[in-house]
A = this chain, B = another copy of it.
Amino acid sequence: MSAERAAALAAQFKAVADPNRLRLISIISASEGAEACVCDLIEPLDLGQPTVSHHLKVLVDAGILRREKRGVWAYFSLVPGALDNLAGVLAEPK
Contacts and interface: CB of A to CB of B under 8 A. Distances in A.
Interface string A66-85: 00000000000010110110
A17 B25 CA distance: 17
Contacts of A89: 22, 26
Interface string A11-50: 0011011111111011001100010000000000000000
A22 to B, nearest CB: 5
Interface of A: 1, 3, 6-7, 9-10, 13-14, 16-23, 25-26, 29-30, 34, 78, 80-81, 83-84, 86-93
Name the 4 nearest CB pairs between A and B, nearest first: A13-B17, A6-B19, A87-B87, A87-B90
